[in-house]
Amino acid sequence: MSGDKQLKKNARSPWQLDFSRQGGGGTELPSPPGYTPGHTSIHHESNRETDPNLKIKRSWDVALGPLKQVPMNLFIMYMSGNTISIFPIMMVIMMMVRPVKTMFSVKQTFKSFESGSGGIATNIIGQKFVFVMGNLANLALAMYKCHGMGLLPTHASDWLGFADPIQRAEFSIGGIGL
């Protein structure tokens, strides 16, 4: 009976591989495509992380992000209208708060691009400038929307109680001037 157990132990399934043997019996697997036996580190991945051109490209992508939001903000402004209601007010508040919060975090946003890994220090003042200008453009859009809604105090009567409000010179209803 001990011979049957030994025979079952030595008999393997055709799908089972023995990786403990070191090349005996011609059952060694071939190397996978692209593998070189003498080279164990991955060269292209480490190059990719420290490549200054990729870092600069990525920093420009981050810097242009706020400018890419301008067309969407214009569309949202158009769709919300100039009435004083909850949706346009919330939209204007968000259009003001986001750029201000983002401008306070410029240093943290670009911190990973400033670190010079591998002795390469990148100067990204231009990217920071474009980033800040994009956020200022979004803030200007929010201010324009506030002006269109009549929320900005632009006349003396908005500040002074004794000043008369401005009088409209003309009213139009349906294309007919009154």
Task: For residue range 10-43, list pLDDT tens digits in order.
Answer: 666 777 776 666 555 555 778 888 887 776 555 5
53 membership: H or E segment, kind and range:
helix 52-63
The larger pLDDT score, comparing residue 173 to residue 42, is at 173
Structure tokens at 40: 């164990």
Residue 16 included in any domain: no
Query: How far is it, in rounded angstroms, from Cα 99 to Cα 142?
Result: 10
Residue 102 included in any domain: yes
- How many structural domains does the chain have? 1
Residue 171 predicted with pLDDT over 60: yes
Residue 7 included in any domain: no
Residue 92 included in any domain: yes
Identify which of 65, 68, 69, 73 has the alpha carbon closest to the alpha carbon of residue 142.
Answer: 73
Residue 158 included in any domain: no
Residue 132 included in any domain: yes
Residue 85 included in any domain: yes
Q: Would you say 163 and 157 are in contact if contact means Cβ atoms under 8 Å apart? A: yes
Q: Residue 158 is which amino acid?
A: D
Query: How far is it, in rounded angstroms, from Cα 157 to Cα 167?
Result: 11
* Whole-structure pTM value: 0.61
Q: Would you say 158 and 150 are in contact if contact means Cβ atoms under 8 Å apart? A: no
Query: How far is it, in rounded angstroms, from Cα 10 to Cα 84?
Result: 84
Q: What is the pLDDT of residues 69-106, one digit of tens each?
A: 999 999 999 998 888 889 999 999 999 999 999 999 99
Q: Would you say 164 and 157 are in contact if contact means Cβ atoms under 8 Å apart? A: yes
Residue 25 included in any domain: no
Range of the structural domain that residue 79 is part of? 54-151
Identify which of 61, 90, 97 has the alpha carbon closest to the alpha carbon of residue 76.
Answer: 90
Query: How far is it, in rounded angstroms, from Cα 142 to Cα 136?
Result: 10
Structure tokens at 57: 């490209």
Provide the pLDDT confidence category of residue 154 given band limits of 50, 70 and 90. Answer: confident
